[in-house]
Amino acid sequence: MSPPPSVRVTQEDAPLPRVRPVEAHDVEALLGVFARAFLDDPFVGWVVRGGAGREQRAHAYFDLMLRRVSLARGGAFTTSELAGVSAWVPPGAWPPSVGAQVAMLPQTLSFVGFARLGVVSEGAELMELQRPREPHWHLALLGVEPHAQRRGVGAALLADGLARADADGLVAHVETSVAANVPFYERAGFRRTHQLVLPGEGPMVWTLQRAPRAR
């Protein structure tokens, strides 16, 4: 997923990407960014049922997370050329109310599948237990176009969200199923809090938290 060393552009060479809120007309293009960024992601491969039609089901998952969970609550951000996208869940917005969960159930079923709903719900609850008890900013998804990775886009989107958490004086929380992402988050000030294996032959997940910094 990284460019070869010969074409590598470092953060020193390239201007820092400008981060801005996602607008409704960006969403379809950004769902494509998530699809390409998370093509091989172990967690997405666990949540989204495989086989024929997997691409459409992954689209439904990213749509739920970006449009309904994050954008609807003012937590979605992108860069000027739509090279990357962050889907944050602001404090107080999670877990969703019972009514909101019921409203999201048909879409959730469309990508999880009825047969795996129990095991995925069990895993989601295990991850839920590792969330901070206090109000916090949760980074649900962060994705950068594969051809634009390792150029500072992800770090810029992360820093933008962390500045918001710092301004609120709140903890930031994230989970990842990719070991190589752990140092990326640690460099931004996150510390590992837990490590768990998701049920149903699911992947290993690392949970990380970052305390707010004084401004």
Ligand X SMILES: CC(C)(COP(=O)(O)OP(=O)(O)OC[C@H]1O[C@@H](n2cnc3c(N)ncnc32)[C@H](O)[C@@H]1OP(=O)(O)O)[C@@H](O)C(=O)NCCC(=O)NCCS
55, 61, 68, 118 from 108: Cα distances, Å: 15, 7, 12, 12
> Which is closer to ligand X, CB of 62 or CB of 93?
62
CB of 102 to ligand X, least distance (A): 26
Interface pattern 28-67 for ligand X (x via CB under 6 A): ---------xx--x--------------------------
SS3 1: coil
Nearer to ligand X, 118 or 128 (CB): 128
CB 115 within 8 A of CB 142: no
Considering only residues 173 through 202, tell me which ones interact with ligand X, judged by CB under 6 A.
176, 178, 180-181, 183-184
CB of 79 to ligand X, least distance (A): 9
Rounded Cα distance, 58 and 133, in Å: 30
**Which tokens sit at 50?**
């495989």
Angle between helices 98-112 and 54-63 (to 10 degrees): 160
Which residue, 54 or 103, has its beta carbon nearer to ligand X?
54
User: Rule CB under 6 A: which of 139-168 touch ligand X?
Assistant: 141-144, 149-155
